[in-house]
Amino acid sequence: MFFLVLLFLSSKLFAQKFEGLALTPPMGWNSWNTFQTNIDEKLVKDIADVMVSSGMKDAGYSYIVLDDGWMAMERDKTTGNLVPDPKKFPGGMKALIDYVHSKGLKFGLYNCAGTKTCAGYPGTRGYEYQDARLYASLGIDYLKFDWCYTDGINAKEAYTTMSKALQTAGRPIVFSLCEWGSNKPWQWAAPVGHLWRTTGDISNLFDGILDHGNWQQQGIMRIVDSQDTIRKYAGPGHWNDPDMLEVGNGLTVAENRSHFSIWCMLAAPLIAGNDMRKMDEETKNILTNKEVIALNQDALGVEALKYSDKDSLQIWFKPLKDDNWGVCFLNRSSQPKQIEFNWQNELINDDLSKKELNAKTTTYKLRDVWLKKEIGDTKKSLKATIASHDVLVLTVNK
């Protein structure tokens, strides 16, 4: 008995992150993809208002995260604290956070494990505990922690230090590790944070690479290609993060739908990156489709497995609670694809979740979650034509 008590106390003593947070993938909005450092008080209030009025909040989006550029170029000379840029945020950060909270939303800020942020603002290196106290005093709910200006710094140690600092400050804060996957955080970050980036920055390319010379942005499909081998590391409270959404940022409607669908299938954080004040109905309908979002937010918390990959057509299966499934047929080619899927001839076994889909022994109902209608069951083969860069997403329910 003494040994068990000691073991319990030890686990509590060395726990680093706040438990019980992000039990489903976080949903929200981040300023970087559209605005970079061109952010201010009015933008944040406008986004908070639109998140409520557009139905985004009702669909599950709750975090508004200010990325790089919110602080002044120097710390306070007397206290050493980070200082919100007084030109961008004349009313102060606390009042702005209170405004966001008054809308029933949550608020996040950004900083960096290095000496500077990626845009050259003051980083957190050497100020971890001081910055954590500031964040707690402001009442933030989410911290995105980047990886620029970190030469000679050990990633696991740096992120662990910040995690402990947040724990010491006492306010439950979702900790998002933006380490770009360079040091394989999925192998060590589960006790440290609630989500971790698995790749470099995303771009609004459906596929390919956007080359900036000394750094690159990856197309959406390039990111997808690196996810299926690390699915075992994700789950409630500890998620693989393939970066923020580019829905509404220049993709076609089909590409927006595919991007959003596969992120939901991958149990990825759903952090919108568009200008919500200007989004059209098609973008809004994609981002707020509750049936697709339900795949992402499923309590089982298991990432989809890539079941098939042939001739630019991929089939992904996602185990869901109550022994149901989600399935995504993804057409990555530039041409339409005809599919015929005989449920009776396919046995889907997932070693990770220990779930099985066997249409020979169980008849499942099929529902198209984009069309929001029942389309039959697994007694008959599924036949469909999927447009270029588009998807067919179904729930497969007992």
Residue 201 known to be catalytic: yes
- E-assigned strands of the chain? 27-30, 63-65, 106-112, 142-146, 174-177, 195-197, 209-211, 216-218, 239-241, 270-272, 305-310, 313-319, 325-331, 337-341, 347-350, 355-358, 365-368, 373-377, 382-386, 391-397
Of residues 288, 235, 312, 308, the one with CA closest to residue 266: 235
Whole-number Å distance between alpha carbons of 40 and 269: 24
Side chain identity, residue 129: Y
Are the C-beta atoms of residues 270 and 263 closer than 8 Å to each other? yes
* E strands, 207-324, in order: 209-211, 216-218, 239-241, 270-272, 305-310, 313-319
Q: Are 150 and 116 in contact, with CB atoms under 8 Å apart?
A: no
| Amino acid, single-letter form, for residue 256 | N
CB burial of residue 55 (10 Å; 0-12, 13-18, 19+): middle
How far apart are alpha carbons 218 and 50 in whole angstroms? Answer: 29
* Lateral strand order in the sheet of 142-146: 239-241, 195-197, 174-177, 142-146, 106-112, 63-65, 27-30, 270-272
Q: Are 120 and 88 in contact (CB under 8 A)?
A: no
146, 275, 298, 390: the catalytic one is 146
Write down the catalytic residue from 85, 131, 201, 298. Answer: 201
Of the candidates 262, 304, 263, 290, the residue with the CA atom closest to the CA atom of residue 370: 290
Pick from 126, 124, 188, 120: nearest CA to 155: 188
Tokens 């919110």 belong to residue: 70
Q: Tell me the two tokens of residue 180.
A: 């770009």
For CA atoms 195, 201, 204, 209, give the dihedral sign: negative
Sequence-distant (6+) residues with CB within 8 A of 18 are 166, 167, 172, 173, 174, 175
Tell me the catalytic residues.
146, 201
